[in-house]
């Protein structure tokens, strides 16, 4: 072919072109007969992980499992996923689970326990709390609304909502008490209950001391006696095992989704839980009138803007990864619902 192409006559080059076209035709015909499909662009790593989580959302999934599945380190996989989606892999998994649960609440007559189990949550009470946290309504409220208004299911994983700040939730669902929960809390047992109770006791005892006010230091006979100065700080160990100094009488408290406890104690928070800036806990609004809203995922920069002297969060997922260290730089932080 090369010799004919180098010939000065145009006829030689025409012959070469004819041979080349014949070769291309034979090659394409062979691929067609073999059922070959046109090559498509290979999905990116993030797309593969998302597809895997969509398919296996009801299973036990850990970051280690994902890393082994896709042959990348946990750190790299988490970083690239969050960079492209705005979510950590496990935060995305939780969003998928909430979406699937919403679809089943709308389209089936399954019980709450069955729906919770079908999306990977053994504890229906935790599922109910998580569902309300992400949608702004209980599962029963959602089901009634869907049946009356015939609206589409809540879709927290739509791309239009990927700007929501991600939570580094490094947890997994398992039966081993020594393992962390990932994507949900295992069925409540005595150890979990005691842990949650101890966390609440630590947090609320601080607030009780604040409500108690300054003690009366005057002597009964009116004579002024020497009074030992009262410390303005207390050193406590939170349920995560971190020792911290907190004000003896905290005044600026953020307790996202735990505001009802504050109200009982007569403490008004400096900010209240919300979703998308408009969904709030309606039954508390009489007591929280005038209290500004803070996003449910508590972005550290927003928390800092309120200058709190105590932060109480309602679950371990809120302080997973490096979130605790970020919050701890701002204010003493206590997590409820961790072991």
- Dist. CA 81–CA 84, nearest whole Å: 5
Other CB atoms closer than 10 Å to residue 152's CB: what's the count?
A: 10
- Look at 215 and 33; give whichever has higher pLDDT: 33
pLDDT of 323 reads: 85
**CATH code for the structural domain at 45-161:** 1.10.10.60
| pLDDT over threshold 60, residue 184 | no
Residue carrying the six token digits 């947090």: 203
Is residue 321 within 8 Å of residue 88, measured between CB atoms? yes
Residue 192's pLDDT is 40
Q: What is the pTM for the complete model shown?
A: 0.41
**C-beta separation of 119 from 100 below 8 A:** yes
Gyration radius from the chain CA atoms: 29
Helices 139-149 and 89-107, interaxial angle, to 10°?
A: 50
Residue 186 has which token pair?
């295992």
pLDDT band for position 166 (50/70/90)? Answer: very low
pLDDT in tens, 80-91: 898 888 888 988
The CATH architecture annotation of domain 190-213+233-335 reads 3-Layer(aba) Sandwich (3.40)
Q: Of the ranges 157-161, 241-245, 283-287, which is most confident? A: 283-287
Length of the chain: 339
Interval 305-328 mean pLDDT: 84
What's the average model confidence in pLDDT over 210-235?
54
Q: If you average pLDDT over residues 129-133, what whole number do you get?
A: 86
Q: What pLDDT score does 121 carry?
A: 87
Any idea where the domains of the chain sit in the sequence? 2-33, 45-161, 190-213+233-335
């Amino acid at each position: 072919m090369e010799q004919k192409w180098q010939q000065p006559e145009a006829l030689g080059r025409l012959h070469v072109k004819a041979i080349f076209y014949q070769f291309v035709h034979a090659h394409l015909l062979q691929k067609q007969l073999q059922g070959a499909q046109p090559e498509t662009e290979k999905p990116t790593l993030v797309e593969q992980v998302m597809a895997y989580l969509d398919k296996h959302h009801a299973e036990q999934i850990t970051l280690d499992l994902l890393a082994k599945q896709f042959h990348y380190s946990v750190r790299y996989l988490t970083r690239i996923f969050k960079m492209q989606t705005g979510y950590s892999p496990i935060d995305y998994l939780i969003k998928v689970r909430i979406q699937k649960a919403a679809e089943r609440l709308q389209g089936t007559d399954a019980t709450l326990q069955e729906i919770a189990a079908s999306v990977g949550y053994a504890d229906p009470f935790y599922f109910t709390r998580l569902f309300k946290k992400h949608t702004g309504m209980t599962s029963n409220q959602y089901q009634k609304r869907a049946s009356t208004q015939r609206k589409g299911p809540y879709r927290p994983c739509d791309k239009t909502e990927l700007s929501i700040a991600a939570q580094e939730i490094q947890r997994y669902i398992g039966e081993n008490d020594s393992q962390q929960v990932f994507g949900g809390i295992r069925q409540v047992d005595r150890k979990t209950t005691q842990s949650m109770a101890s966390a609440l006791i630590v947090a609320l005892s601080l607030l009780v001391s604040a409500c108690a006010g300054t003690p009366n230091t005057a002597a009964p006979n009116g004579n002024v006696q020497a009074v030992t100065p009262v410390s303005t700080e207390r050193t406590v160990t939170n349920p995560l095992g971190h020792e911290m100094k907190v004000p003896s009488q905290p005044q600026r408290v953020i307790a996202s989704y735990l505001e009802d406890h504050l109200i009982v104690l007569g403490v008004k928070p400096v900010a209240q839980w919300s979703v998308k800036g408009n969904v709030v806990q309606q039954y508390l609004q009489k007591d929280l009138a005038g209290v500004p809203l803070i996003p449910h995922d508590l972005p550290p920069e927003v928390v800092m803007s309120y200058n709190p002297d105590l932060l109480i969060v309602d679950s371990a997922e809120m302080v997973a990864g490096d979130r605790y260290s970020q919050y701890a730089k701002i204010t003493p932080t206590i997590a409820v619902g961790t072991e």
